[in-house]
Amino acid sequence: MRLGVLDVGSNTVHLAVLDAVRDARPAPEKEERSTVRLMRYLDDNGTISDEGVKELKKAVKKGRKAADKFGCEELVGMATSAIREATNGEEVLAILGEEAGVPLTVLSGQQEADLTFLAARRWHGWAAGRLLVLDIGGGSLEISLGIDERPEFSTSVPLGAGRMTKNFLKHDPPEKQELKDLQRRIDKLLVPVARQLEAHPDPDHVVVTSKTFRSLARLAGFAQSVVGPAERRRMSLSDLQDWVPRLARIPADQRMELPGITPERTHQIVAGAMVAESTMRHLGIDKVEVCPWALREGAILRRIDYMSGPEPDDLPIGPA
């Protein structure tokens, strides 16, 4: 079955198309993406503006056309934190669902964390032992820990790179007071998470996912080896700490000249780096390894797992 997964995230609307076969590697055959940076279109009340809805409709329409072009027999859609928390989120979802031709399911923060954890577990395998998985999105930070395919601990914290940039970093490059205010906010939200994790055994392996972490690892990390077409990258806390203040001093248009910093991420990489550094520091993490699979792959894996059975309870997405 040719399956299409339309992911309406905080930064991009991304269609992944694959030939779904149970027990097979969920490698997309085709992809289509549009950069929206939805946080730009949220007003002070958390409402997505008319312009933002227009951009989302355009991106979803493009994804729908690509799904038809690529011969998708089934298209499923999901949306994450930016739409989940918008005051007009339900209204926007209905509009986008009509554009996509299928309903869009809003994932909770815990579902995001759980599905990302599943993707990391499948990628790294059982030999990785107890996994701690960190994922920085545009709207939220997901943290999950466990030894099985479902984490024993998972949480979603409103510390996404796009959200923090919009709420705190008003200037380019950001002013010192803005950086201090952002750091206080990050610390305030991470302290209780660190305390909760103290009740659990230490991880054997710490992995990070998402474009923010991948960009930072390209910039501040190092490639340990190459597995097929993918680099196996690691990043230490000390290397990241060296880069955070340097990034904050560089204007957004000049950051794109740095390795790993893409045009769609350059405006929010400072906030993303601060969240990444603070998370590693608060959780006592010295080094992380980048996992190429994340939320989208987790959703695909869970969908394939249930192709011959009941709908998954943690991914309420069914056939169109």
Q: In the chain, what are the domain boundaries?
A: 2-106, 110-295
pLDDT at residue 79, as a whole number: 94
Select the CATH number that applies to the domain covering 2-106 from these four: 3.30.420.40, 3.60.10.10, 3.40.50.720, 3.90.1150.10. Answer: 3.30.420.40
* E runs forming strands in 23-114: 30-35, 74-79, 104-106
User: Tell me, what amino acid is at 59?
Assistant: A
Element (H, E) at 280: helix 269-282
User: Tell me, what amino acid is at 237?
Assistant: L
DSSP 8-state class, residue 148:
S
* pTM of the full structure: 0.92
| Superfamily of structural domain 110-295 | Exopolyphosphatase. Domain 2 (3.30.420.150)
* Alpha-carbon dihedral sign for residues 16, 20, 23, 28: negative
Q: Do domains 2-106 and 110-295 have the same CATH topology?
A: yes
Helix, strand and coil content of the chain, in percent to the nearest 5, comes to 45, 20, 35
With a cut of 70, which residues of the chain have pLDDT below it? 225-231, 308-320
